[in-house]
């Protein structure tokens, strides 16, 4: 009869512990994680656009992250886009188009400035 009392206490303790963990453990991505992922993505996009003219290490790092096809890491570009519901390929396509336009405008602007000086 003495054996039953400790088992009941242990069973009650397990039920309380189980209910505790059910309320604490997250079932999916919550808003703070999504906000952090969005901040990481926004920083990479801003760095890519701001540093394109310099081609410095920050630009190279942002470009490498944005065009990396890695999907196994939590904060990989592909993973961030999937969690946020964004199309990674469409973003990459738009970034390449923007880069080509920016660089062609830059080289065109330099050429027309040189042409003006020659006249």
Per-residue pLDDT at 53: 83
* Secondary structure of residue 54 in the 3-state scheme: coil
Per the CB < 8 A criterion, the answer to whether 61 and 104 are in contact is no
The confidence score (pLDDT) of residue 116 equals 40
- The confidence score (pLDDT) of residue 106 equals 72
Largest Cα separation within the chain, whole Å, is 108
pLDDT of residue 109: 59
The answer to whether position 82 is within a domain reads yes
Q: Is residue 103 part of a domain?
A: yes
Q: What pLDDT is stored for residue 12 in this prediction?
A: 58
Indicate whether 60 belongs to any domain: yes
In a domain, 64, yes or no: yes
**How long is the chain?**
119
Whether pTM > 0.85 for this model: the answer is no
The answer to whether residue 1 sits within a structural domain is no
Q: How far apart are the first and last CA of the chain?
A: 108
Q: Residues with Cβ < 8 Å from 68, sequence gap 6 or more?
A: 76, 77, 78
How many domains is the chain built from? 1
What is the pLDDT at residue 112?
42
> Is 24 a member of any domain?
no
Closest CA to 43 of 86, 77, 90, 87: 77
Task: Classify residue 16 by its DSSP letter.
Answer: H
Instruction: Let me know if residue 14 belongs to a domain.
Output: no
Q: Could you list the residue range(s) of the whole structural domain that residue 91 is in?
A: 29-118
Q: Which residues of the chain are modeled with pLDDT < 50?
A: 111-119
Confidence (pLDDT) at 42: 96
In a domain, 66, yes or no: yes
Token readout for 107 is: 């080289």
């Amino acid at each position: 009869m003495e054996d039953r009392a400790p088992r009941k206490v242990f069973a009650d303790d397990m039920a309380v512990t189980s209910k505790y963990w059910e309320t604490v453990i997250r079932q999916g991505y919550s808003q703070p994680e999504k906000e952090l992922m969005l901040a990481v993505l926004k920083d990479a996009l801003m760095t890519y656009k701001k540093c394109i003219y310099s081609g410095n290490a920050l630009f190279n790092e942002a470009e490498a992250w944005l065009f990396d096809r890695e999907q196994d890491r939590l904060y990989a570009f592909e993973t961030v886009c999937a969690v946020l519901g964004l199309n990674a390929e469409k973003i990459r396509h738009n970034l390449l188009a923007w880069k080509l336009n920016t660089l062609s405008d830059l080289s065109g602007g330099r050429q027309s400035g040189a042409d003006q000086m020659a006249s």
